[in-house]
Structure 1
Amino acid sequence: MRVPLSWLREYVDLPAGVTGRELAEKLVRAGLEVETVEQLGADLKGPLVVGQVLSIEELTGFKKPIRHCWVNVGDANGTGEPQEIVCGARNFAVGDKVVVVLPGAVLPGPFPIAARQTYGHTSAGMICSARELGMGDDHDGIIVLPPEYEVGTDAIELLQLVDEVLDIAVTPDRGYCLSMRGVAREAAAAYGLPLADPALLDVPPANSYGYLVKVADPAGCDRFVARTVVGLDPAAKSPIWLQRRLQKMHVRPISLTVDITNYVMLEVGQPLHAYDRNRVDGPIQVRRAAEGETLTTLDGVKRTLGAEDLLICDNSGPIGLAGVMGGASTEILDPVADPATGQVTGTTEVIIEAAHFDPVSIARSAKRHKLPSEASKRFERGVDPEAARAAAQRAVDLLVLIAGGTAEAGVTDIAAPHPVRTITIAADLPDRVAGTEYGRETVARRLQEVGCSVAGGDLLEVTPPTWRPDLTDPNDLAEEVIRLEGYDNVPARMPLVPPGKGLTAAQRMHRRVGVALATAGYVEVNNYPFVGEAAFDALGLEAGDARRRTVKLVNPLNDEEPALRTTLLPGLLGALRRNLGRGNTDLAIFETGTVFLPEAEPKVAPRPAVDRRPSEQELAELNAALPHQPRRVAVALAGERLPSGWWGRGEQAGWADAVEAARTVARAAGVELAVRQGQSAPWHPGRCAQLLVAGTDRVVGHAGELHPRVVKSLNLPDRTSVMELDLDLLAADGETRVEGPTVSGYPVATQDVALIVDAAVPAADVEAALRAGAGELLEDIRLFDVFTGEQVGEGKKSLAYALRFRATDRTLTADEASAARESAVAAALSGTGAVLRGA
């Protein structure tokens, strides 16, 4: 919402010296988001005056039409003589009043003006277009002024070229600020000044001879005001002051009637629509659309309607999509002049519509038809239903004043009954919320400043104003008091934390995991938890993959990512790709976060009241409706893990590093991992490790190298490797504990063993069998060689392990170490079918 300071001063008598930036600071303190303060005409310098064209000489022999003009500028040039100006525009004639900038002036840019020789003549100034004056983007021709303005009049003041405009980002709960009336109310409260409400007008009561309107859907349209103006001059144009106010709001002037409806909407906040009365067939009706019904809107598009669309109709059918856009069949006609007689024809009778529509219905229609408009933006945020009568009256008054029309006596006002909303609030609630003391008088005064009526003592009965549909409970009222008193006046106090609390076991484990990965050289990233089907396609997930079954968002931020993630990999690989695109070639990143797994039969969450704490049953129902949200950790690696340099070639990161990252996580969680070969998208089928909790069949994740097709689809480097692991499954046996290593002062006894097994037997199974058979004396076991060839036989492989034995209380004898080795080998032979190599 753009707010010209000069216009705002009509409703609030701000101190003369208040600047736009000072006002912006006040409004920001009151909770509004002022994005910029634009200084219009800051670098503009006169003389800039009204001139009258005395003569025009068409110059020929040039690539484009050029005109040599003499223009009367009065005494503005200091001589009173006509000014010689060369101009290329052709939309003016002799006798027209134009805007002339004289030598010595500076136009916005800055663009200094000086006399110069051009096209064989002296051009002592310029005849200006709207763009050259910073009034808009129109550069098709120069500005032709109405004939009543005197030659030599200061055009800077006439065209209101110097002003300050605040650009306010209006949040959805403050729809009333999408109008000068709403912002003026905030400014009045900020400065403690009275408000000249533009909606306080004398409006005649409804009567039986107004234009006939039938509302078939009172829930969709609870108020409809219609007024009729006849005898309009079709040649009447919007005055300069009206055009300039629209231009400062970034609204393009179109025609007088349309400009007035836009002006009143910006002033009062009530969207209006004007119909050409002679093109409306019979009574106006408000109803829901029939499925498949069509309407051609003002933008010339034929739209197919749905049963939820609310329509404005006449006997011929739909003539408008209610609250969104009018229909082309009843639009105001542009004035057309007869070349022979000069007589202007166009719309002479109009019906003004000022209605109040259901916000949800309008929002859905605007979104369904991809047709956002200034009207729908206001209706879906909430429009004051009591402003309809005043807005219609304001439009009628302006049409009568400017176009010479006559307002018919008939007034149509159809209103559904509205129950009065009253909120009971303890007078000290704002004190308790803010942790400071305002007092009952301050609370009552601040609520009255936002338009509430207040009664009562320690318990206040508050009736919110009709333009504030967002005020629904006591906390809303407390927020109004606090923001108007100033958020910066709320004292900063640390909350009192009860003793004996601290991090939960899961929180401690998550921290240890993050620290462990960071210590190992990984950099943490945080991604949005939103995904779309394209992400699953890029990962090569099959149609029936469980990860494609997602929780869909009702109102997603991005239509291409309408669901919550079921895996961390899409966001993590996206971050990897972005960093690669910025020249970072050697990357090791990780992320921890929740994924969202829908239940087989999703439940609908209840909507508890906001004026009290939810009951235990409501909390249980809310929790039961939530999807399963396990916490996971994932890493991604690309490029070199050890850099190249003068010392030689570096070492490329690969699948083994991804597996080691999983082991790093498991060590931080105090859990031992078993690793075996696996297959799961998006990993390479031959370079994918399945991760299990040692001694169980519980699969907690996968690690390895990405499939080449996935690497290609995501434009990632070859051999990119990833790991994803479920932290909740990892710690499913209870609280994880990290115990320090047992340090023994006695020497280690090392024994090697080589076993021949079938090629299909996982090395992890052989290691598990050796570990189980070796007993408590085994300190460590490491696979240091894998051999295949004729020596071990076809379909076989040799696995060589180094076993380290040590006791904490004595030096092991050779017999004890050998006995432990033999026990380990025996367990491996019986458990995996292994054969001792060399036996």
Structure 2
Amino acid sequence: MKISENWLRTWVNPDISTDELVSVLTMAGLEVDAVEAMGAELEGIVVGLIEKAEQHPEADKLQVCTVNIGQQENLQIICGAPNAREGIKVAVATIGCVLPGDFKIKKAKLRGVHSYGMLCSGKELQLSDEHDGIMELPENAKIGSQLVDCLGLKDNAIDIDLTPNRGDCLGLKGIAFEVGVLTQTPVKPIEVVPAPVTIEDKVEIKLNAPEANPRFVARVIKGVNINAETPKWMKARLLASDIRSIDPIVDVTNYVMLELGHPMHAFDLNNLDGAITVRYANKDEKLTLLNEQELNLKPETLVVADDRKALSIAGIMGGKFSGINEDTKDLLLEAAHWDPIHIAGKARNYGLHTDASHRFERGVDYNLCAETIERATELLLDIVGGQAGPLVDQIEDSYFPKGKTVKLRRARIERLLGVVISDKQVEDILTRLDMKLSREPDGWLIDVPSRRFDISIEADLIEELVRIYGYNKVPSRKPVSEMSMIRQPENRLQKLQLAKVLANRGYQECITYSFIDKESQQLIDSELEPLPLVNPISSELGVMRTSIWPGLLKAVEYNQKRQHNSIRLFESGLKFVPGESGLQQIPVIAGAITGRRFVENWEAVNENVDFFDLKGDVESLLELTAAKEQFEFVAAQRDGLHPGQTAEILRNGVVCGVIGKLHPQTQREFDLEESTYVFELNLKKVLSRKLPTFNPLSKFPSIRRDIAILVKENVTSSQIIDLIGQTAKNWLNNIVIFDIYRGKGIEPGYKSIGIGFTLQRTDRTFKEAEIAKTMDRVISVLTEKLDAVLRD
């Protein structure tokens, strides 16, 4: 919002400079974006008197004027304006002046006659839209004085960037109270005197939407002179506020809005039919606005209407055919309270943004309607004349806002701010902010002004206190607290430990969105219906992920397209799985690998990774639990994975993860160039670990025995190892599968497996009989459970 500094100082005039005033406002939360020196572009424009005006000898429409600008010699200036004549005072641009629009005045010669300046119109000086003739100045204007001084344009326009909660400062009145309390300077508000009622004309008001419009105030004024001149002081203040002068009636309504912060509207009374009704728009109802835009009104749009038609969109903009024009003689002024919730967003629905909607959306003082009409009436009667009718003030009490009272506790101030503010300071600050206080033993009860929509709780009042008291006066203190280490159960792994293992094995951690597109989700979990987002960022991020894989695979694809030939990625995070009891948020760690097994070099074989590379990485994670025997990999099938290279990971028989190769079709859908392998572990099920226990080292020698057995193809190595471990667990030190053979001498559907295991006792040396007995027991169990045959 732009305001005139001169105008502001008529309300409150602290003994500080413009720069200091700007600093005070900014530090209090009313950030000043810029300060513009008004009239700077009119430097060099002076007041002149036309002493003689003669016909140009070579042009019928030009006059040669002799102009006195208070110097020793008069200027000869050629002018083509129809109102250029002897005896009037005018705005004179001398040689060297630069007019708005970067137009420089130079010495000129027109039809053989020299011209040493220019007589300016209001439009050329960007002071008004009048361009039919040169600007005529008052008779008491001093010859030779600067035009900005003559018109009262020398001012500073202060541009304040207000936050949405400070709608009360969208009027000079609100800013004046701020300056008054910040500088401890008395505020001198204008005294609004009720206008004398000289006629009995009035209109009937019907409030058909009281929840949105609980108050409507109107007044009839008859016999106005639309051709009257807006006072120059009003024009100057409007100009400083970035509003052009239009006509005296519109100027007054704009002026009062800027002064008090309450928008109002003036209708041409003779264009109204019957009573004024506030209602919602009818079906297919149309309205042509003041800006010539024709709208098809929506049913939820609030309008001000007469008995036949809509007159304006409530709180936003008036209609063209009921507005003020050059033939207007009689007026209807209106000022209403519109509920902010019912106004918010309505202007944007029609591609509009007006000064009125900007204020009503943020909240306007609901007790100011009548005062606004009275102030506008006072100005109009003084400028355009006329006779005022009685004030019609229609209120629906059940919907009209009630004043707010907020409790402020003394102890709460110190607790939130960390500083003690004396009772005297608290009362002074809040009183200057136009609040009414009543003391209580532990604090105060505060009656909040009706213009302060942003104050509703105790914290809001404390924010006001510190804002005025000064943020720089609040001491900076380091928080003091006893720090203690968080107790971590020793039998629980941390995610960081898993991440470090993967990083040491060449993985890079990545972070992807928890949102994915539904198509990618269906490729991985076709049977799950993901949770859709109500307001997604984009269609590609429309549902919550039920697996981390889609995000990882897109990261793999991104890297492949940038010529990375060895990719290992992992991510830990939540997946969101719908269930009978609602949405489950499951913490998981997942990874994906593809490309070369080793970095290219002269020694390494040029091979790509396979299933067992990833299985080894996963097993390195499971080894952190010190309970590797609790885990097993069981062949399984899973959406999106290759049916022959997929396994579920079980812990004590419960599924805790999955590992596998991406199905070729899924690989194509994700636009991946190489075979890709993925895993996922449920962190809740794998982070618990066995605590280590000390076993004394044996001083006796170990015994190694190797056997070869013949088993069917469907027998897994883990089954063999588990059986041997269960049978020889007391003495078994190590077990390893060192050979798998298929081919000559082996029947189809069978394989030969070479097993080496190491036995060792801690109390004495093994006897050969004990070794033989153990080996017989192992072979017997393998034969019984797996139909294994011992090979010679």
Give the structure-2-normalised TM-score: 0.72
Structure 1 counterpart of 2:722, which letter? A
Distance 2:330 2:270 in 1: 7
The correspondence of residues 697-736 of structure 1 with structure 2, limited to 5 A, is 697-698=654-655, 729-732=682-685, 736=688
Contact 2:38 2:153 in 1 (8 A): no
| Partner residue in 2 for 1:624 | none
Query: Which residue of the other structure, out of 377, 382, 395, is the alignment partner of 2:358?
Result: 377
The correspondence of residues 585-600 of structure 1 with structure 2, limited to 5 A, is none
1:453 shift after superposition: 0.5
Structure 2 counterpart of 1:429, which letter? R
Assess, with a 3 A threshold, how the Cα gap between structure 1 residues 399 and 204 changes in structure 2: closer, same or farther.
closer
Contact 1:98 1:144 in 2 (8 A): no
The correspondence of residues 675-686 of structure 1 with structure 2, limited to 5 A, is 679-680=638-639
Query: Are 2:32 and 1:75 equivalent residues in the alignment?
Result: no
Contact 1:634 1:722 in 2 (8 A): no
| Partner residue in 1 for 2:44 | 47
Distance 2:576 2:187 in 1: 51
| Partner residue in 2 for 1:147 | 136
Query: Are 2:534 and 1:549 equivalent residues in the alignment?
Result: no
Query: Are 2:300 and 1:316 equivalent residues in the alignment?
Result: no
Structure 1 counterpart of 2:508, which letter? Y
Query: Which residue of the other structure, out of 270, 274, 280, is the alignment partner of 2:266?
Result: 274
Contact 1:224 1:415 in 2 (8 A): yes
Contact 2:657 2:680 in 1 (8 A): yes
Bigger mean CA deviation after superposition, 355-364 or 518-527:
518-527
Structure 1 counterpart of 2:419, which letter? T
Structure 2 counterpart of 1:37, which letter? A
Contact 1:430 1:443 in 2 (8 A): no
Query: Are 2:423 and 1:440 equivalent residues in the alignment?
Result: yes
What SS is found at the alignment partner of 1:354? strand
| Partner residue in 2 for 1:348 | 329
| Partner residue in 2 for 1:607 | none
Contact 2:419 2:474 in 1 (8 A): yes
| Partner residue in 1 for 2:508 | 522
Query: Are 2:159 and 1:178 equivalent residues in the alignment?
Result: no
Contact 2:200 2:389 in 1 (8 A): no
Query: Which residue of the other structure, out of 168, 174, 181, is the alignment partner of 2:161?
Result: 168
Contact 1:280 1:330 in 2 (8 A): yes
Query: Which residue of the other structure, out of 437, 448, 454, is the alignment partner of 1:464?
Result: 448
Assess, with a 3 A threshold, how the Cα gap between structure 1 residues 500 and 379 changes in structure 2: closer, same or farther.
same
| Partner residue in 1 for 2:27 | 29
Aligned length: 759
| Partner residue in 1 for 2:391 | 411
Structure 2 counterpart of 1:773, which letter? L
Distance 1:811 1:805 in 2: 15
Specify every segment of 5 or more residues in structure 1 that has no aligned partner in the other structure, as ranges: 61-66, 334-344, 603-626
Distance 1:582 1:407 in 2: 80
What SS is found at the alignment partner of 1:392? helix
Assess, with a 3 A threshold, how the Cα gap between structure 1 residues 690 and 432 changes in structure 2: closer, same or farther.
farther
The correspondence of residues 230-309 of structure 1 with structure 2, limited to 5 A, is 230-235=222-227, 242=234, 245-246=237-238, 249=241, 256-289=248-281, 295-298=287-290, 300-306=293-299, 308-309=300-301
What SS is found at the alignment partner of 1:267? helix
Structure 1 counterpart of 2:367, which letter? E
Assess, with a 3 A threshold, how the Cα gap between structure 1 residues 435 and 408 changes in structure 2: closer, same or farther.
same
What is the percent sequence identity of the aligned residues?
A: 22
Contact 2:39 2:148 in 1 (8 A): no
Distance 1:413 1:588 in 2: 75
Contact 2:492 2:689 in 1 (8 A): no
Specify every segment of 5 or more residues in structure 2 that has no aligned partner in the other structure, as ranges: none
After superposition, the C-alpha distances for 1:790-831 in whole angstroms (9 at most, x for unaligned) are: 99999x898999999798979999998998999699879968
1:286 shift after superposition: 1.7
Query: Are 2:219 and 1:212 equivalent residues in the alignment?
Result: no
Assess, with a 3 A threshold, how the Cα gap between structure 1 residues 365 and 818 changes in structure 2: closer, same or farther.
farther
The correspondence of residues 51-70 of structure 1 with structure 2, limited to 5 A, is none
After superposition, the C-alpha distances for 1:589-642 in whole angstroms (9 at most, x for unaligned) are: 87665566778799xxxxxxxxxxxxxxxxxxxxxxxx6555566778999998
Contact 1:324 1:376 in 2 (8 A): yes
After superposition, the C-alpha distances for 1:378-436 in whole angstroms (9 at most, x for unaligned) are: 2232211012222223333444444x142513211123445443223323321122222
Distance 1:745 1:510 in 2: 32
Assess, with a 3 A threshold, how the Cα gap between structure 1 residues 416 and 124 changes in structure 2: closer, same or farther.
same
What SS is found at the alignment partner of 1:773? helix
Structure 2 counterpart of 1:549, which letter? L
Distance 1:253 1:646 in 2: 84
Distance 2:55 2:559 in 1: 64
After superposition, the C-alpha distances for 1:178-217 in whole angstroms (9 at most, x for unaligned) are: 333323322222222222335x522359998533211133
What SS is found at the alignment partner of 2:334? strand
Query: Are 2:413 and 1:421 equivalent residues in the alignment?
Result: no
Query: Are 2:186 and 1:194 equivalent residues in the alignment?
Result: yes
Assess, with a 3 A threshold, how the Cα gap between structure 1 residues 436 and 807 changes in structure 2: closer, same or farther.
farther
What SS is found at the alignment partner of 1:386? coil
| Partner residue in 2 for 1:10 | 10
Structure 2 counterpart of 1:148, which letter? L
Contact 1:5 1:164 in 2 (8 A): yes
Distance 2:642 2:90 in 1: 78
After superposition, the C-alpha distances for 1:213-271 in whole angstroms (9 at most, x for unaligned) are: 11133322122111233334444576666566556555566655444434433332212
Assess, with a 3 A threshold, how the Cα gap between structure 1 residues 408 and 807 changes in structure 2: closer, same or farther.
farther
Structure 2 counterpart of 1:438, which letter? I
What SS is found at the alignment partner of 1:82? strand
Query: Are 2:465 and 1:481 equivalent residues in the alignment?
Result: yes
Contact 2:641 2:666 in 1 (8 A): no
Contact 2:592 2:678 in 1 (8 A): yes
Distance 1:127 1:738 in 2: 98
Distance 1:544 1:232 in 2: 76
1:353 shift after superposition: 1.9
Contact 1:423 1:462 in 2 (8 A): yes
| Partner residue in 2 for 1:536 | 518
1:452 shift after superposition: 1.4
| Partner residue in 1 for 2:344 | 363
Distance 2:784 2:91 in 1: 103
1:447 shift after superposition: 2.0
Distance 1:581 1:243 in 2: 67
Structure 1 counterpart of 2:357, which letter? S
Query: Are 2:455 and 1:455 equivalent residues in the alignment?
Result: no
Structure 1 counterpart of 2:429, which letter? R
| Partner residue in 2 for 1:221 | 213
Structure 1 counterpart of 2:475, which letter? P
| Partner residue in 1 for 2:194 | 203
Distance 2:613 2:759 in 1: 29
Bigger mean CA deviation after superposition, 386-395 or 512-521:
512-521
Distance 1:192 1:826 in 2: 97
Contact 2:524 2:550 in 1 (8 A): no
Contact 2:275 2:307 in 1 (8 A): yes
What SS is found at the alignment partner of 1:488? helix
What SS is found at the alignment partner of 1:271? coil
Structure 2 counterpart of 1:315, which letter? D
Distance 2:482 2:764 in 1: 51
Structure 2 counterpart of 1:165, which letter? I
Distance 1:769 1:55 in 2: 120
Structure 2 counterpart of 1:81, which letter? L
The correspondence of residues 562-641 of structure 1 with structure 2, limited to 5 A, is 565-566=544-545, 629-631=585-587
Assess, with a 3 A threshold, how the Cα gap between structure 1 residues 475 and 105 changes in structure 2: closer, same or farther.
same
Structure 2 counterpart of 1:14, which letter? P
Distance 1:39 1:385 in 2: 33
Assess, with a 3 A threshold, how the Cα gap between structure 1 residues 406 and 141 changes in structure 2: closer, same or farther.
closer
